[in-house]
Amino acid sequence: MVQRIFKASVAVSLLVLLSSCATMSPEECKVADWRDVGQRDGLAGQTMSHFQSRVEDCAKAGVAINTQAYRTGREVGLRSYCRLENAVPLGLNGGYYAGVCPPAIDVLFQQRFQVARSVHDLRNDVRSLDDRSESLERRLRETSHEEDRRLKEAKSDDERKKIRKSLDDERRDIRKDLSEADHQLRRKRDELRSAEYALGNLR
């Protein structure tokens, strides 16, 4: 099962890359195989609004699109895209689902995608909060070195008093931010465990 999901993940990533560009150059419009273009857009789960952007691009180049060929190709691509096993990799890769699948599969596809996308987003949140905590801890350590340096350079007791007061205030603010970041991190990790558990039950 894991191997199948990994293969689907790789396939979904490649398909998204194939249709990552929303515009077409005049040269591309002139030589386009519209069935192939439609198939690639279908494989990437693109909506018909994406097709409209292609129409507008090619109209500027004076090129008419073969709409029927595009639609035929897109339907072929959507049949591959809308396989249920693609929903989880799409979400875990941080993709988007625009509700392009047929009603018979749309609800299940949407549910699986949302669970997987939640895991993806929460993993990003945890990484971001981890980085923030590390940055704050590093800044806290740096204030000690900064204090030593500035105290050595100070010319009077009054100046040293002001330096200590300033850095004490800064450390207090850093510790407050660090406490808040750690609280958020614990909460996000709990949410991530729950989301990963829900994801595991889908497989």
In a domain, residue 41? The reply is yes
In a domain, residue 15? The reply is yes
In a domain, residue 74? The reply is yes
Same domain, 133 and 68: no
Would you state the pLDDT for residue 154?
A: 87
pLDDT in tens, the chain (203 residues): 444 444 444 444 444 444 444 478 999 999 999 999 999 999 999 999 999 999 999 999 899 999 999 999 999 999 999 999 999 999 999 999 999 999 999 999 999 999 999 999 999 999 999 999 999 999 999 998 899 898 888 889 899 999 999 999 999 999 999 999 999 999 999 999 999 999 999 86
Per DSSP, the residues of 111-173 read: HHHHHHHHHHHHHHHHHHHHHHHHHHHHHHHHHHHHHHHHHHH--SHHHHHHHHHHHHHHHHH
Q: Which domain holds residue 23?
A: 2-81
In a domain, residue 33? The reply is yes
pTM for this entry: 0.76
* DSSP type of residue 194: H
Length in residues, the chain: 203
Same domain, 127 and 193: yes
Same domain, 7 and 58: yes
Would you state the pLDDT for residue 148?
A: 87
In a domain, residue 93? The reply is no
In a domain, residue 106? The reply is no
Tokens of residue 156, six digits: 């009077």
Same domain, 123 and 76: no
Same domain, 123 and 198: yes
Domain count, the chain: 2
